[in-house]
Each structure stands twice: as structure tokens, then as C-alpha cells.
Structure 1
């Protein structure tokens, strides 16, 4: 194997974190800001690129450029067990959902996922980009023209919002998914964008104008709560005027409190 072999355990239900066990000399890489805690004896190092062991300056620049195009930082953090005996380091999910372990050695060495799904991985996993062949996929795909591609033969961990559903598509079997709900897929799955049929459905259906059409064979992971949908609900419930309360606070007690507080 080219990747470091790591053991892990996932804790929690809706707000999960993954605890990774490192033997002496083993390393895991993670996105900046995802660290939850680590034991004494684990060293941190900021690395340039995707942590896949690119050789030479041009290789590192190419790896960093791929991460920049996917909207991620140019740098990643490597956590290495520099002590004696097994050590543990934990990484937390950024919002409510599920952490999904992906054994790339069992997934033909590659998984394509939405650009902000990657959480952490064994050192040696390459975090690259996947260009969609059709321009319509990029313009209307909900996740942009570029998706992330994780390559290697080790463990990688991605995060999905809400509840995750794993499906296996047979050859020729098709599945239609809301564009924001697509988390990841294996490379054998073809991915395209299809417009909602019917003027009334498109304008008044409330589900958007486009959805993703996936065709097997391969595996697909779907999430119930895309972060964009969660952020939209939070924003709509936030105060709409400076120093004011949310316009959505429409209960009798809420109105009484506003009256007593001097609000109009």
C-alpha cells in the first residue's frame, strides 16, 4: 500500500467526530480547522498541496493548484505520531450530519465527491479535481463545474449533511437527485444535469429548475441536508433589521415581549 494504514472509530449521532489511531510514524492529513483534539506525542505540520507525496516543486504547485480550484485552502495539516505507542487524534464534523469512511482500495482507488465534503484521510491520499465533460453540468450542477476527486488505496473520510443514504446502481439503472443532495459517487457512475419538465413545475414547484441524473453501474451517496439548504434556513430566520429580532418570531408570547420591550 502507498497510503498509511490507520485505525479509526466514529463517535456521536448527529454531531459526529472521528478518532484516528496512529502507530508510531503513521500520519493522517486533514483540512485546516477540523481538529478537535489530539494526544501528547502527535506532531503537527502544515504541508503545501494535497499531502499525496508529490515530488518536486512543480508537483507540489500542481497539487496546491488543484485544491485552490476546488475552493479549499492551499495548505493542509499533517498529524504524525512522533512518540512511543499508539496515539489518537480526533476531527469533528463542521455541521450536523454523518462522517462516512471510504476505503479507496475497495472503491477502485477513486471517489468523486462534492468540493467541501472532504474531512481527513490517511497520508498518501490525493485530493484532486474532477472536471465534468458537459458545460451544463458545471453551470447548473449546484456544486459548481469542479468536484473533488480522492485517489489512493487508503482510508478517507467525507462528511454529509443530515442523514446519508448509500445506493448501488446496476448497469443502466438511473437515479434523479436534487443537485445539492449529491455527496459522492464512484467513477463508473455517469453524472448529468436535467431540467425539470413543465413550466408550472419549474416555476412553482419549489424544488429548483434542475436535478442531477445518475446512471450506473456504481455506488452513490446522497445527503438529506445540504449545507446550502441549512444556511438558507438559518439566514431566513435571522434578524432582518439592525438590532432587531427575527421576523419569524410570530408567537403571542413573542409579540407580547416585543411590546413590553418597546419594539414596534
Structure 2
């Protein structure tokens, strides 16, 4: 069984982002990591291959520095990686999905594709759906339980209010992994060293015949989130506090 895991190179959620220009940020000062939701996809893929045989291939679209994220996936047990290099910090879901599709077709389509349920930086939650659409494959997102057997995948996901939905699909298909699917492993030092010797194929968008300007969305401007004002303490009796709170909401904050 060949499994591809689509992985994104994202800023650590604890990093302080400093905007540079209108549409960029200072990435040289930021620690980048594997998109956390993608780790569930890597772990599930590795477990399936450990059980059934085959190989796990990490596929990433990003700047050349994203090879570090691929190495993290290789240390978790994947056999090799594919990096589609780009110059920009942001790619829309359309362009990303086209690049992932082209890279996988060039390498040979897999039996199963994993993604995370979404990325923690742009949070568009579209790439897996667009990828599945371009490949003509079934897709299910936010999967917290998965069984793969006999050419079929049975996925379970929460749909709200504690209810769960179970979906059966034929392979190949696209699975968006989320928390609860498994517990991603922490690579040991020998695994990290072995990952340094594993193969990563690099190619550009042009190599895949993709126009870098073919995305559907153009980023116009980045702005920092306004700083929150300090808390205001209201004193007095309960009646006085309620009266003052209503006044503040009406007159000062104008939300009532």
C-alpha cells in the first residue's frame, strides 16, 4: 500500500509574527513546525504501513526551508518525501491542491491520501476538498477514527452535539485527520538520524507545468490584530454593578 501524506510547513503557534510590508512577515525569526493536524495523518499512515506493508510518502508545497518539516515526517516513519518549492509565503488552497495533485501524479498515485483537517496558519480548510475534487476521489474531513480493510475505508467523525457520522468509501480516497485519531509518536534520536539520509525529491511549480499566478485568491494586505484594552473592574452592590455594566455596553462600547 502506498500512502501519501500532505504536510504543511507552518509557524509555531507560540511564535510572535512581525508583519513585513503589506503581504508578508519576517519568517527568518520564526520557528517553523509540522502543521499539528498533519501529524495525525502521518501517524495513521505509518501505523497502516507497519501493519499492512507499503510505503509512506510525505508531500509538501512550500519554500525550500520546508524540507525540515518533511524530515520530521521521515523521522516519524515515512520512507521518502516530495517537496514542491515556491517563493511566496502564502499559497491559496487552489494552487496548493493543483501542486499536490501534479506531484502525486508524477510520482504515481497512492492508494490513500491523508491531510490534516486544516492548517493552523491560514485556516482555509479547503485544500483536502479541492485536492479530492481535482483527483475525482471521495473525501471526508475531521476524521477521529479510521479502519482500512479490503479496499475500503470506514471513517468516523463528530458532527456536533456528541453525534457521530460513519462514512464508508472505496480506496483511493482523501482523509482529513484530526485530534483523537491517534497519538502522534515522538521520534527517537536514531530515527532522526536515519531521516537525514532518506530521499527528498524537489521540484518547482514550473517543473509540474503549473503557473505560480494561477491561484484563485490574491492576498491584498496583512494587518496585526488590534491589542485588547485592559479590563475594567466594576464595583458596588450587585444592582449597581449591573446598572453600570449596561451603561458601559450601551454608551461606551455601543454593543447594545
Greater RCO (Cα-Cα under 8 Å, separation 6 or more): 2
Task: State TM-score, norm by structure 1.
Answer: 0.21
Higher strand fraction (1 or 2): 1
Q: TM-score, normalised by structure 2?
A: 0.21
